[in-house]
Amino acid sequence: MHSENMLYKFIAVLAVASITFPIVSAATDKIVCYHGTWAKYRYGNGQFLLSNIDPTLCTHIIYTFVGITTNGQVTSLDPSLDYNSGNLNKFTALKTVNPKLKTLLAIGGWSEGSTKYSTVAASAELRAVFIQSALDIVQTYGFDGFDLDWEYPAQRGGSAADVANFATLIKEFRETFDKHGLLLSAAVAAPLGLVEISYDVPSLSKYLDFINVMAYDLHASWDGVLGHNAPLYASSVDTSAASKLLNLKSIVESWIAKGADPQKLVLGIPFYGRTYTLASTTNVAIGAASIGAGSSGPYTAEAGMLGYNEIVEKQLAGGWTIVWDDEQKVPHMYKDNQWVGYDDPQSVTLKVEYAKSMSLSGVMVWSIETDDFRGASGTAFPLLSAINAALVSIIRSTIFPFPNPILLF
């Protein structure tokens, strides 16, 4: 009888738990990792190969980039790497290590521009060619889906008709991909001003499996003043209506207000910082003047940005003052005439927690090869590991709301 009563109590507690703390479909559980294949060509400790990927740290991983021809065919941007070196096959083979991993192939990117995509999207015939070509390469190499990174509809040589044409394109992609059980996603501009130019948000939300919001490059050296790359919240120096929108909180709220289902939104987190050259070494506060981009790093070799791996190496070399911005919940650092706004394990954890609070689908990272993947800081992939730890904590608190469930009996 005692054991029978215990069983009834156990069932009753489970019933209460399932009512009060349901495991719902609105889980924030995606970790979408972009991989820039060009990192293979980087110098020294910055070189990143497919063998450096830990496929257990991502739920989805996206291979970037392929391109498009003017007749709508998907084409390799690096045939030697993609085909001759077998990178496409090796990439999808990561699923043998993590069978739950989903691999996607991305088309586009900044360097591809907008004009060709505008032309293809405007033609029913070319759209059909594009969709079939994408399906062919996805199926040939065993990808689970396709990611559209058109930067950006109705901008950079595009036309106003791109907004409707892009919506039609993804609708037609959806119809074809559904027949084959394939995923369809897109990388999209983040700030409201760009969203209003480029997207029919309800259509994207309806037809895409998830939407990767590129919530970074919100401030950089082109502003002429110091600002964080990807602040979670606004700063008190953000006094204009436009500047108050350049933070992750405002971006997410804007996308939802425009008609996006929160469970389709994946919040982008940068694994790099934006750098500046100071106008004055005595004025290093947010909003202070800068005279241009900061010095390039040894691996990324691009003025105005540093990978987190390069940031860690600079910190270890010493001499940098590191500041936590408690308004914007992100760090920055400075030394001599150089200033860097970036993300660290603390800030990415807060961004994951924010994504959960808004019931988003998950977070996205750009990109895994600029994390501290060699572990100079003491932990390999510290940013990606922090994201995983934050999500595990969130999932555990959802599934096991009681601290010690067995003690309830």
Question: Which class for 27: exposed (0-12), middle (13-18), buried (19 or more C-beta within 10 A)?
Answer: middle
- Whether 193 and 244 have beta carbons less than 8 Å apart is answered as no
Lookup: tokens for 250: 């405002």
Lookup: tokens for 275: 């750098």
Q: Would you call 196 a catalytic residue per the annotation?
A: no
Bridge pairing between strands 272-278 and 305-307: antiparallel
| Number of Cβ atoms within 10 Å of the Cβ of 281 | 12
Q: What CA–CA distance (Å, rounded) separates 380 from 56?
A: 13
**Per annotation, catalytic residue among 151, 310, 313, 369:** 151
Secondary structure of residue 376 in the 3-state scheme: coil
Distance from the first to the final alpha carbon of the chain: 15
Residue type, 331: P
- 155-168 core/surface letters (b: 16 or more CB in 10 A; e: else): beebbeebbebbbb
Q: Which residues are catalytic?
A: 151
